[in-house]
Amino acid sequence: MTFSAGTSGGARSSAVIQHRINRNLGRRDYFTLALAALGGALEFYDFVIFVFFISVLGKLFFPPGIPEWIRQAQTFGIFAAGYLIRPIGGIVLAHFGDLFGRKKMFALSVLLMSVPTLALGLLPTYQTIGVFAPLLLLLMRLLQGAAVGGEVPGAWVFVSEHVPARRVGLACGILTGGLTAGILLGSLVATWINTMFDTTQVLTFAWRLPFIVGGLFGIVAMYLRRWLEETPVFNELKGRKALASGAPIKSVLREHRGAVALSMVLTWMLSATIIVIILMMPTLMQKVFGIAPRLALLGSSVATVCLTIGCALAGILSDRYGPRTVIQLGATILCVSYIALYHQLMIGASVATWLSLYALSGFMVGTIGAIPLLMVTAFPAAVRFSGISFSYNVAYAAFGGLTPILISLAIPITPYAPIVYVIGVCAIAAVAVSFVRGKPVLT
């Protein structure tokens, strides 16, 4: 099974295709990539900052007399709602992106994220408006989820259709690294807030600052995106009157089921490795191995920095050697490094030893930087946004929600559950990409 960008409105000019393949990166490409990565980082910051203040939000937005486990469950439920709504938001934004332009939806997704994030920082608490407080909190979280559902696929499509075809891996890898940098930014801001202010100050006003700042910066990012141009690929489709007719998602599900299946498997690998190794590992290190919270969070921060670098490198290598090779080799090294990390934690190795292995594991999680190249070339231009958005968001909602539950249920049975899960997912992804022949080229 070979995936390549197809055409749905007649043969494309070979001269146009050749120009997209052969031209070099220009100043405008770097400008586009920089703004896309910056906006993506800020949008991911807005989305994840919620989780770093879950305990605070639970105390402020729910009745003070309820049991703690109910309060925690309700707050995590609101956090999870942002993931569950992602497919709906992503499909809607992608629908209009395929019909009316990538740029409009690319700017709209930032606005849809910035406004509710800013509103979160200004919301009245339960003490002020009672039961309406958690309802408003839920509404803002749903809006955030809808926005991020369109941002990631939209960003991949936008940059891939701007840069030279032989540099799509580089562009998508850098962009993916920018998205992961948003996670690191959220962690650093949360750490700074809890360092600068005491518990009373955080509960009184300081918890609002990360949301307000994130919302304001997001609005600035939206303003900056107005300087971006529509993608040449979309303009050409529009000029040839080759845009999708009707609902693009119908064409995706009817004619591109193989591409959907591949994209979902790759999204499973992307979500599983980030959730288990980057997001869950600090908690596992504390509960399973008795690592001090400060050291566990330090390890996570170092691993996230390495992840950002790894994404960019994986994108560069996928342009040169093909994403199949990068994903299969990277997944293998990732599994070996993660096993080594787990083993060193089991035997109580020194901080320097396990920290270096955690950094290596985070760097190898960056293998996911090669995934977008396969996804953007798996669908023809006319339905590319809808195809990626549907596959990515449905898979992320399912696997992103199930992964923490499965790991939590399996750890009492075996402490090696995270290793088994990561190895299993990486093996499935490696087999899936073996059906891709050659180096995919976006045209």
The domain locations on the chain are 14-433
3-state per-residue secondary structure call for the chain: CCCCCCCCCCCCCHHHHHHHHHCCCCHHHHHHHHHHHHHHHHHHHHHHHHHHCHHHHHHHHCCCCCCHHHHHHHHHHHHHHHHHCHHHHHHHHHHHHHHHCHHHHHHHHHHHHHHHHHHHCCCCCHHHHCCHHHHHHHHHHHHHHHHHHHHHHHHHHHHHCCCCHHHHHHHHHHHHHHHHHHHHHHHHHHHHHHHHCCHHHHHHHHCHHHHHHHHHHHHHHHHHHCCCCCCHHHHHHHHCCCCCCCCHHHHHHHHCHHHHHHHHHHHHHHHHHHHHHHHHHHHHHHHHHCCCHHHHHHHHHHHHHHHHHHHHHHHHHHHHHCHHHHHHHHHHHHHHHHHHHHHHHHCCCCHHHHHHHHHHHHHHHHHHHHHHHHHHHHCCHHHHHHHHHHHHHHHHHHHHHHHHHHHHHHCCCCCCHHHHHHHHHHHHHHHHHCCCCCCCCCC
The pLDDT profile of the chain, 443 residues, written as one tens digit per residue, is 444 434 333 444 445 555 555 666 767 778 888 888 887 888 788 878 887 788 788 889 988 888 877 877 787 788 778 878 888 888 888 888 888 888 888 778 888 888 999 999 999 999 999 989 999 999 998 998 888 888 888 889 888 888 888 889 999 999 999 888 888 888 888 888 888 998 899 899 999 999 999 899 888 888 877 777 877 777 777 777 667 677 888 989 999 999 999 999 999 999 999 989 988 888 788 888 888 878 888 898 899 999 999 999 999 999 999 999 999 999 999 999 999 999 999 999 999 999 999 999 999 999 999 999 999 999 998 899 899 999 999 998 888 878 887 888 888 888 899 999 999 999 999 999 998 876 676 66
Residue-level pLDDT at 355 = 96
Residue-level pLDDT at 438 = 67
> What pTM was estimated for this model as a whole?
0.85
Residue-level pLDDT at 2 = 44
Residue-level pLDDT at 9 = 39
Regarding the domain with residue range 14-433, which homologous superfamily does it belong to in the CATH classification?
A: MFS general substrate transporter like domains (1.20.1250.20)
